[in-house]
Amino acid sequence: MILCLNFGHIFENFTYYQNLGSDLMQIKIILSVLVLFSITFLVPSDVFANDGNDILEIASLEHDVRQGQYNSLVQVDSDTYALAYEGKDKDGFISTFTISSDGSSIVEVDTLEHDIFNGQYNSLVQVDSDTYALAYAGNGDNGFISTFTIDSNGNITAVETQSLGNNLEHDTVHGQYNSLVQVNSTTIALAYAGNLENGFISTFTIDSAAAITAVETQSEGNNLEHDTHRGKENSLVQVNSTTIALAYEGKDRDGFISTFTIDSDTAAITAVNTQSLGNNLEHDTDRASFNSLVHVDSDTYALAYTSHGEDGFISTFTIDSDTAAITAVNTQSLGNNLEYDEVRGIHNSLVQVDSDTIALAYTGFDANGFISTFTISSDGSSIVEVENLEHDTDVGQYNSLVQVDSDTYALAYASSGKDGWIMTFTIPSDEIKEKNDSDCYDCEAPKLTKVEVHITSPNSDTQRISTSSEIWHFDQDTPLPMFGDSITPIVADPGDEVEIILELTDNRTLKTITDSGTYTNFLNKPNDMNLFYANNFDEYGKVSTTFYEWHQKGDDLVYDYTNTVE
C-alpha cells in the first residue's frame, strides 16, 4: 500500500511516497514541524518594517513559492480563511488557513487545485456556513462558476469544479474582472467583463448541496449587458437584500457607479442606474481601474481606485437603499476626492474597519506593498488618511484584505517572484479613534514635554545658597504623560524653596492654555477644611491641602491649609 503525502506549496510541491507502516507517525511529526517552520522562517528579510508605525505586521506565511496571484480571501469562521488564487502554470487553486485572532499564527490547512488550465480574476464568496462559490476566468478566459465545501477545520471538498468536470461555464466567450456577491441564502450575482470586454451582470442559485444553477447568464442567453462600451475592473457590493452597486471602468476607461436590483425569489436582474439606461454616475472622467468598493455607513460607500498616472484615489458616494439612486459626495467629478498616493496606487483592496474607518492594501511606489487606514465621516464628506505602512519593500501585488478581529487583518498578496503570501497586521482601533478626533477643532489635551524641580537651600551659617535639580523629559507619542514606575524621592528642609517648572505643547496655539496648577501635601481631609478647596485628590483619596492654581483670566487660586509654605 502506498501513502502519498502532498507537502503543499511550502517546499516546491514536493510529493513524498512511503510504505505505510511504523514510519507513519514519524512522517506526521516531520510534517507538523515543517508547517511550524513555515510560519517562523519563511519570512523575507525585507518585509518587517514597522518603524514605530501604528499599523504593525504580526506574522507572515509564504504559502506558495511558485505563484500566488489574483487573490480572493474570505473568512470561513473565526479562525479559518479560504483563499482562491492563480498558482503554478496559471492553474486555479483553493487553500485554507487557520489564523489566530491576534494574527500571531498562520497555518496552511488544505490546498485544492480545482482547475488545471486557468484560474484568474478570482472572486470567492461564502454562500452558506460551509458552501463557497468561486467566479473565475478559466480555460480560454471564459467565465466559470465552481463550488466547494469547507468545514470548520479548513478541509476543502470540491463539489462542482473543472477538476471534477462538472462546474458551470456561464460565459462561453469571455469572463474576466469578476466580482461576485451573495444576494441572499441561495442567490449570487456576478459583475464581469464579457464579450468585447463589455459589462455584464449574471445571477446564479446555489442550493444547500452546492449545486449551481444558471439563472440569468450568457450561457442562458438572458443576462444583463449593463455597459455596451466597456465593463472592466469590477467591484460589486450589496446595498440591501435586493440591491447591488457596482464600481467599474467603462467607456474611455472612465470611472462609473451603477446600481441594480435582484429579485429575491427569481434572481431576475433589473438595471436601475446604468450606462445602458443612460443614468449611471460617471465619477471620474479620466480613468478608474483597480476598483475596490465598500459599504462604510448606512448609505455611504467608499471606493479606492486608480486614476491618472496610476495614482491612488479614495472617493465617496451615497446610495439610497430604497431607490438605489447614486449621489457623488467626494469624487474626481466634483473635484474633492482624496488622492491617497501621488506616486502609485494599484491592486487596491479595501475593507471596512468600523462605521467610519476603512483599511486599504495597495501596490505603491516601485510595486511595493502598502497598508493605509482612513477615516470617513458618516456622510462621506470627509476622507482623512490616518496611517500608512510599507509592509513589503520588494513587491506587494494582487492584494486581498480581510478583517480577522477588531484590530487584526489578514492580507493575501503576491510578493517577489509572484510568490503567494499571507500576512497579518494589527491596526489599533484606539489609535484610529484618537486620529478621528482630529476632525474636531481641538479635542486634544496639552502634552507635557519636560518637568524640572529645583530645590534652593539657604545656609544660615555660610550665607550661601545651594541648588539641586531633577529634570524629566517625556515621550510625545502618548495622549497623557507616561512616567513609568520609577519614582524619584525628593527631600528638602524647612526654609528651602521648591520650584516646579512645567514645559508643554498643545495641538493648538499655546496662547489658549487657560489654567495650570500644582498640588501637594495630600492628607486625609481635615474636618474643618473648606469644601471649596477640597476637590483635588490623589489616587488614595487624600486631598491636596497645599496648592497653587494659575488662571489666564481671573485671579490665581492659592490654598495652604497647614500653613506649610509661604
Site for another protein in 153-212 (CB under 8 A): none
Asked whether position 465 contacts another protein by CB under 8 A, the answer is no
Which one, 97 or 561, has the nearer CB to another protein?
A: 561
Record the cell numbers describing residue 197, joined without a space.
470586454
39 touches 13 (CB < 8 A): no
In the set 484, 527, 535, 541, which binds another protein (CB under 8 A)? 484
In the set 2, 25, 487, 531, which binds another protein (CB under 8 A)? 487
The 3-state secondary structure of 172-225, one letter per residue? CCCCEEEEEEECCCCEEEEEEECHHHCEEEEEEEECCCCCEEEEECCCCCCCEE
User: Total residues at the site for another protein (CB under 8 A)?
Assistant: 73
In the set 41, 265, 511, 530, which binds another protein (CB under 8 A)? 511
Q: Which stretch binds another protein (CB under 8 A): 132-140, 282-290, 428-436, 531-539?
A: 531-539
Q: What are phi and psi of 196, to 5 degrees?
A: 60, 20
Q: Which residues contact 566 (CB under 8 A, 6 or more apart)?
A: none
Asked whether position 48 contacts another protein by CB under 8 A, the answer is no
Q: What is the distance between the alpha carbons of residues 386 and 280, in angstroms, rounded to a whole number?
A: 31
In the set 515, 524, 526, 554, which binds another protein (CB under 8 A)? 515
Of 360, 355, 260, 251, which is closest to residue 305 (Cα–Cα)? 360
Asked whether position 375 contacts another protein by CB under 8 A, the answer is no
Asked whether position 503 contacts another protein by CB under 8 A, the answer is yes
Q: What are phi and psi of 33, to 5 degrees?
A: -65, -40
Which one, 42 or 534, has the nearer CB to another protein?
A: 534
Of 413, 299, 401, which is closest to residue 352 (Cα–Cα)? 401
| 24: helix, strand or coil | helix
Site for another protein in 341-370 (CB under 8 A): none
In the set 42, 213, 268, 517, which binds another protein (CB under 8 A)? 517
Which one, 22 or 563, has the nearer CB to another protein?
A: 563
In the set 36, 116, 196, 558, which binds another protein (CB under 8 A)? 558
Which one, 259 or 546, has the nearer CB to another protein?
A: 546
Q: Which helix (H) or strand (E) holds 551?
A: strand 543-551
* Structural Rg of the chain based on CA atoms: 31
Record the cell numbers describing residue 385, joined without a space.
488618511
In the set 507, 524, 526, 554, which binds another protein (CB under 8 A)? 507
Record the cell numbers describing residue 375, joined without a space.
477615516
Asked whether position 510 contacts another protein by CB under 8 A, the answer is yes
Site for another protein in 433-452 (CB under 8 A): 438, 441-449, 451
Which one, 3 or 445, has the nearer CB to another protein?
A: 445
Asked whether position 241 contacts another protein by CB under 8 A, the answer is no
Q: DSSP readout, 320-333? A: -TTT--EEEEE-TT
Which one, 1 or 487, has the nearer CB to another protein?
A: 487
Q: At its nearest, how many Å lie between another protein and the CB of residue 384? A: 13
Site for another protein in 308-327 (CB under 8 A): none
Q: At its nearest, how many Å lie between another protein and the CB of residue 477? A: 10
Asked whether position 505 contacts another protein by CB under 8 A, the answer is yes
236 touches 181 (CB < 8 A): yes
467 touches 455 (CB < 8 A): yes
Asked whether position 417 contacts another protein by CB under 8 A, the answer is no
Q: At its nearest, how many Å lie between another protein and the CB of residue 468? A: 13
In the set 141, 394, 434, 496, which binds another protein (CB under 8 A)? 496
In the set 5, 42, 504, 529, which binds another protein (CB under 8 A)? 504
Q: At its nearest, how many Å lie between another protein and the CB of residue 49? A: 23
In the set 196, 512, 524, 526, which binds another protein (CB under 8 A)? 512
Bridge pairing between strands 255-262 and 281-284: antiparallel
Which one, 293 or 448, has the nearer CB to another protein?
A: 448
250 touches 275 (CB < 8 A): yes
Q: What is the distance between the alpha carbons of residues 518 and 72, in angstroms, rounded to a whole number?
A: 58
Asked whether position 518 contacts another protein by CB under 8 A, the answer is yes
Q: Which residues contact 299 (CB under 8 A, 6 or more apart)?
A: 318, 319, 320, 321
Binding letters toward another protein, positions 532-551, x by CB under 8 A: ----x-xx----x-x-xxx-
Q: How far apart are the first and last CA of the chain?
A: 96
379 touches 329 (CB < 8 A): yes
Is the dihedral angle over the CA atoms 24, 28, 29, 33 positive or is it negative?
positive
Asked whether position 483 contacts another protein by CB under 8 A, the answer is yes
